Structure 1
Amino acid sequence: MVGNSFGCTVMATMAVKNVLVRLLPRLEEAAGRAVTLRMGTIAGLQSEIEWGAEFDVATWINGACRG
């Protein structure tokens, strides 16, 4: 995430977190089992949802901040 400002990173991280908080109950219900959410440190920006697949939020944030 070279070239991105810290402010953009924090805002994008919070936006993703807010979306995930709303989606998790629906994902749990749809999957019929627990969904695990692991939030890493701001420095690492590694967030993933596990339900048989991984979603790289850090990559999404990087693209959103550049655009």
Structure 2
Amino acid sequence: MEEVGMTRVTWRKSTRSNGSGDCVEVADGLTDMVGLRDSKDPNGPVLTFDPQAWARFVAGVRHDSFIR
């Protein structure tokens, strides 16, 4: 597995984050991938997704299909 350099990536939290600190952060300005990490461990592991898989996941969450 290839290691991806995430040191110069801009991370963002959801606008729906409630301030509890239990958040994930997304780096979506990358080429050919979307990064996801735990905001409490910014130097920890990063999950990466291809943009199409990420878009399907977000669309599913928005449409409540994952919460049934």
Higher RCO (C-alpha 8 Å, min separation 6): 1
User: Which has more strand, going by share of residues?
Assistant: 2
TM-score under structure 2 length normalisation: 0.28
TM-score under structure 1 length normalisation: 0.29
User: Which has more helix, going by share of residues?
Assistant: 1
